[in-house]
């Protein structure tokens, strides 16, 4: 891989089942197992799916007009079966409104296509989950 394609995040333990993620730009995010207000890893996966799609759709419909409101919700069922712990039935719901007029009408008209493009081609996070990508776990020397 090259510097243009590689993405990375470093994690450091901050306490029992608590960690801080740091990106290459210096941004940090604390997370844990869910016994406080910090997000859990599963919630972060849902945020990543919704956030990636939200950005895609914002760019696509925002070319026409600024939305009056732009909200998303995402939910999933966490199950345990023969394949292990995992999420099923992930559902991402977009709730956008646009100003009245021709530009708002056009943005509303292209919204379904924008959502489909994000899901089917653009959103790296969704595409990775849908297509399925192996994850290699190794122990540092």
Least Cα distance to 59 among 107, 8, 2, 4 occurs for 107
Alpha-carbon span 104 to 96, nearest angstrom = 11
Handedness of CA 58, 129, 141, 19 (dihedral sign): positive
The full length of the chain comes to: 141
Alpha-carbon span 66 to 56, nearest angstrom = 14
List Cβ neighbours of 66 (8 Å cut-off, separation of 6 or more): 99
Alpha carbon of residue 101 to chain centroid: 31
Q: Which residues of the chain have pLDDT under 50?
A: none
pLDDT of 4 reads 87
> pTM (2 decimals)?
0.92
Alpha-carbon span 33 to 21, nearest angstrom = 14
pLDDT of 1 reads 59
Q: What is the pLDDT of residues 82-104, one digit of tens each?
A: 999 999 999 999 999 999 999 99
- Residue 103's alpha-carbon distances to 61, 68, 112, 118, in angstroms, are 10, 12, 16, 21
């Amino acid at each position: 891989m090259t510097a243009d394609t590689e993405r990375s995040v470093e994690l450091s333990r901050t306490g029992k089942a608590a960690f801080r993620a740091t990106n290459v730009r210096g941004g940090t995010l604390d997370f844990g197992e869910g016994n406080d207000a910090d997000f859990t890893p599963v919630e972060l996966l849902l945020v990543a799916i919704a956030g990636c799609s939200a950005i895609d759709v914002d760019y696509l419909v925002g070319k026409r007009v600024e939305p009056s409101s732009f909200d998303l919700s995402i939910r999933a069922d966490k199950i345990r079966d023969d394949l292990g712990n995992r999420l099923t039935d992930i559902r991402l719901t977009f709730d956008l409104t646009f100003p009245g007029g021709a530009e708002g009408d056009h943005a509303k008209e292209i919204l379904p296509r924008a959502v489909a493009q994000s899901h089917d081609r653009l959103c790296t996070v969704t595409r990775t989950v849908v297509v399925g990508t192996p994850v290699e776990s190794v122990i540092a020397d």
